[in-house]
Each structure stands twice: as structure tokens, then as C-alpha cells.
Amino acid sequence: MQAIGYYNGEYGPLEEMKIPMLDRAVYYGDGVYEATPTRNGIIYALDAHIDRLYRSAAYLSITVPMDKQTLECELKRMVALMDTGDNVLYWQVSRGTARRAHPFPEGHANLMMMITPYTFPDLSEQVRCITREDTRFLHCNIKTLNLIPSVMAMQAARERGCYEAILHRNGRVTECSKSNVHILKDGCLISAPADNLILAGIARSHLFEVCGHLGIQVVERAYDVRELMEADEIFTTSSTSFIHRVTSVDGIAAGGRDSARFEALRDGVWGRFVKATDI
């Protein structure tokens, strides 16, 4: 099944879709987005993603061009158009369409959606990461389209045969280019606090929920690269990649010392997804 695109009410094969040059997403990245997997026609954690989209938009004073319920219907309509079960659904809202000028223009925001078939990752795979100075801005809690530092960090990781780049600000670990990162130490889960330096991932909140079920204490606090390297386990989470165990950082063996707890967390995160999307 081919991928499908949507722009302000129009649908078509994704590769054939066009958006106007004057959409502010094109020249300012002036918009917000969300992405989540679908399975069996069910959009995973839809309410949480819709709520975060509206929160991100509100931070930027962008008015989403429809209410939450209507957006939910539009997203579900996209999924219903696909004949495959496993997909990733992406949607973004840009501030609007106007000639280039920094102040906000008159007029309505633009909604764009795309749905693409997706093969879920093999979560038993162990991955390697690099570290990178976090050169992003100070609004990382808002899921904006401005992703150049993330793109550069991910490319650097891939050029070194690695899965992700673990970002840090002057040694303080924040997150990865497109996922959150967490460590296990002495049986506790340690995760960077949900401040303006990270995106509070929805998979991160699912992970915390699973920790609750397993009796694993969650400590949200700053930690540095040295602590990361000495952790019992290191792993990433995101909606589309779920959870990945990191066993090498900058070419040095790391983590991999609390398999039982990590595997219980991994099974919990995946099991939660399967349960929510089973029919």
C-alpha cells in the first residue's frame, strides 16, 4: 500500500502531494508536529499526542484550525484509507500561508498529515550511540518543526554506524536527536527532568507507567555523561521506536549490566502497545 498525504482537506498519494511555497513551515519551520504508530487501524496513544500538539501550538500562539474532536476524526479517516495494519501517522500544523514577514500573518493555520506503512523495529537489537553537544535552542519542550541540530546530530550518528546521538549540554545529558534517553542505576530509573531542555516523550510517560507496575523507582533529575557511562543500563524511548537498549557509547562498551530489569521494561513498553492496539 502506498503512503497517503493530506493538506487542508485534500488527499492524494504522498509523493504527489504539494504544499504552497508560502506555507510558513517552508521558510520559517513555523509549526508543530506529532508522530505515532498505528496498528490494526488503531492510533496509539492518540489523546496524548493530540493534547501535546495543542499544547505545542499554544506555546507558539498558533490556533489549530479545528477542535480536538474534529482533528481526531481527520486522523482516524487517514488510517481508514490504508489497507495495511502497521503504519506511522505524522501530522503538523503550520501557522499559515503568507508572504515572508516575521510577524504573525492574518488567516488560518494549515493542517498536513501523512500516513506511511511501517515495520516495527526489532526491540531485541542492541544499539550503539555517539554523544554530541546539544546545540538546540531552549524550547525543546515544544515539538516544533525546527529540527536542524537534531538532523545534524542524527546524521553524525549514522555516519559512524550508530543508531542515535545522545545529546548533552556541557556534560548534562538531555535527550537524543529523536528520542528520550534513560539510565538504570542500582535498580532505579533515572531520567532527565521534563523541563525546557527536553521533549517530554509520550513513550517516556509509558515507560514511567511500566516502572510503576514493576516497582522500579523513577527519579527525574539531571545526570551527566560520566553517570551515563557508569550506568547499569542505558536505553532510548520514542513513540515510533518504542525502546532500544544501548550497549556502546562513543565506541566504548556501556550499560548491559541489568538485563532482567531492562527486559522487563522493554516487554512492558511493547506489551502496553500491543494491548492498546489489539482487536
Q: Write the CA distances from 251 to 228, 247, 260, integer angstroms.
A: 14, 9, 24
Strands 110-117 and 172-176: unpaired
Write down the least CB distance from residue 198 to ligand PDD, Å: 6
The residue (of 97 and 157) whose beta carbon lies closer to ligand PDD is 157
C-alpha cell at 224: 551527566
Write down the least CB distance from residue 90 to ligand PDD, Å: 7
143 catalytic, yes or no? Answer: yes
Among the listed residues 126, 157, 141, 151, the one whose alpha carbon sits nearest the alpha carbon of residue 196? 141
The residue (of 114 and 184) whose beta carbon lies closer to ligand PDD is 114
Residue 80 region by backbone torsions, left for phi larger than 0, else alpha for psi between -120 and 50, else beta: alpha
- Residues found near ligand PDD in the complex (CB under 6 A): 35, 150, 175, 178-180, 199, 201-204, 237-240
Write down the least CB distance from residue 100 to ligand PDD, Å: 25
The residue (of 97 and 144) whose beta carbon lies closer to ligand PDD is 144
Q: How far apart are the first and last CA of the chain?
A: 21
The residue (of 145 and 229) whose beta carbon lies closer to ligand PDD is 145
Write down the least CB distance from residue 45 to ligand PDD, Å: 8
Active-site residue identified among 76, 143, 178, 185:
143
- Exposure of 121 by Cβ count < 10 A (0-12 exposed, 13-18 middle, 19+ buried)? middle
Positions annotated as catalytic residues are 143
